[in-house]
Structure formats: structure tokens, C-alpha cells
Amino acid sequence: MSVLPLVFTSGWASGINAYAVVLLFGVFGVTGLADDVPASLQRTDVLVAAGVLFLCEAVADKIPYVDSIWDSVHTVIRPIAGAVVGALLAGQSGSLPELAAGAVGGSTALLSHFVKAGTRMAVNTSPEPFSNVALSLAEDLGVAAIVTFAVFHPVAAAVIAAVLLLTGLAVLAFLAQRIRRFRRRRSQRREERRLATTERSPLAQAPPGGSEHL
């Protein structure tokens, strides 16, 4: 079977949490739960680094506005990780050119990263931090569940990942439209208040050419 569904799913997951993807694949390979995991993902130093960075992301991803800064830094890292993981999976399988797999994994990771980053920016407008924590936990659990499912049922997992990606893009477009409308209305209200203040100003009501009385 072609490795393309697994590459697509890993790319989608990498756009949300690349370190979790590397860590999960590595653990599956080391424990023998998956036979097609590249040896480079099973190395001890890779697993330790992925684990430490995963813990850092688990903390930063749940703090309002810190999560958006973290997402900005990972705009390049996550697509690269998706491309590298995809190329490694293709090289291990031999059923798909590594360059094509890297392109699929990287582009899918970039799209899912935009969905995550845009959704977080919208959530950060809420004054309470609980929505950030809930969304972050849902993302972590979702990545873990779908990557695990993809190891045993790659095609079904790819379908789920595709549906989630398309849904996320639709939600992101809806939120962007709502935010633009909100900013437009707020700008109009500010302009109306400015004009009302100017009309009530004494200088605006004074007759032109008025003289002062001694």
C-alpha cells in the first residue's frame, strides 16, 4: 500500500504539534508497535529532544498570547518537520518518491498550522484563559489519537485528517470575516464619536470672526 495516506496524516498532525508526531512515531518504532518507522526517528537523542520540546509546547500552548508567539516561531518549523517526517516515511516504504512525500507533508503541515495559529488568535480575544487550555488539550489528544490510528489504519486516518483540515479552514475563514466586520464597526463607532465630540466643542460653535470684549 502507498505510504501517501500516512504522509498526509503526519503532515496534518505536524502542523498542530510536530514534536508530538516525532515522539509518537519514535515510541511506536522503539516498542515494536509499528514496523515501518524510520530508524532516524527511533534514535534516543531524537526522542529526548522531541520529548523536551513537546513539554515546552504543552506549557506555552496553554498560555494566552504566549501560544500565538510560539505559533509565530513555528511557522517555519512545523512545515519543515512535516516535510522531513513525510520524506523519511516515504524513504522507509519505497512506495513514494521522497521529494513528493516531503512536498505533501510540508504543505499539509503549513495549512494545518495556519488553522491552528488563526484559531488561537481568535480565542485570545476572550478574557478568560480556560478556552486556551481546553483547545490545547483537545489538539494534543486529537494529534495523539489520529497519529496512533494512522499507524494501523492509514487510509481511514487520512480521511479524518482531511475532513478536520477542511473544517478548520472553513472555520478560520468564518472567523476572519467576523473579525473584519467587528473591526469595521468599531472603526465606524470611533469616527462617529469623534464627529459628535467635534460638533459639541465650544470652538466649533463659536461664530467666525468674533471679537473679544474688554
Res 210 pLDDT > 70:
no
Start-to-end CA distance of the chain, whole Å, equals: 99
pLDDT at residue 202, rounded to an integer: 58
Please state, in angstroms and rounded to a whole number, the distance separating the CA atoms of residues 89 and 22. Answer: 11
| Residue whose grid cell is 530508524 | 39
Side chain identity at 43, as an amino acid letter? R
Write the DSSP string, 34-70: -S---GGGG-HHHHHHHHHHHHHHHHHTTSTTHHHHH
Cell numbers at 194, concatenated: 469623534
Confidence (pLDDT) at 53: 95
| Contact partners, residue 130, CB within 8 Å, separation at least 6 | none
Interior angle at CA 200, CA 198 and CA 202, nearest 5: 95
- 147-198 pLDDT tens trace: 999 999 999 999 999 999 999 999 888 877 877 777 777 777 777 777 777 7
Three-class SS state of 196:
helix
Give the whole-angstrom CA distance, residue 214 versus residue 74. Answer: 71
Phi and psi of 212, rounded to 5°? -90, 145
Q: Which three cell numbers stand for residue 26?
A: 519514535
Q: Per residue in 1-42, pLDDT tens?
A: 589 999 999 999 999 999 999 999 999 999 998 888 899 999
Q: Assess contact for 34 and 58: CB atoms under 8 A.
A: no
pLDDT of residue 214: 41
